Amino acid sequence: MILQLIATFTGSASQCYQLAYLLSQYIRMYEPHSARENTVVFPTFHNLVSQEQFKELGEKFEEIEEQKFGEDGFKTIVEQIAEIEKALGIYDLNQFTPNCNL
Q: How far apart are CA 73 and CA 19, in angstroms?
A: 26
Task: Note whether 81 and 95 are same-domain residues.
Answer: yes
Residue 81 placed within a domain: yes
> Do 61 and 39 have their domain in common?
no
Residue 32 placed within a domain: yes
Flag whether the pTM goes above 0.75: no
Q: Torsion-angle region of residue 13: left (phi > 0), alpha (psi -120 to 50) or beta?
A: alpha
Q: Is residue 83 located within the same domain as residue 40?
A: no
Q: What is the pLDDT of residues 54-97, one digit of tens each?
A: 999 999 999 999 998 888 888 999 999 999 899 888 899 888 88
- Shared domain for 102 and 72, answered yes or no, is yes
Total of domains in the chain:
2
- Cα–Cα dist 70/79, whole Å: 14
Q: How far apart are CA 75 and CA 63, in angstroms?
A: 15
Q: How far apart are CA 42 and CA 48, in angstroms?
A: 10
CB 76 within 8 A of CB 69: yes
Q: What is the pLDDT of residues 3-57, one digit of tens each?
A: 888 888 888 888 888 988 998 999 999 999 999 999 999 999 999 999 999 999 9
Rounded to the nearest angstrom, the gap between the alpha carbon of residue 82 and the centroid of all alpha carbons in its chain is 11
Which residues span the domain enclosing 44? 12-48
The Cα 28–Cα 17 span in angstroms is 16
For residues 41 and 66, membership in a common domain is answered with: no
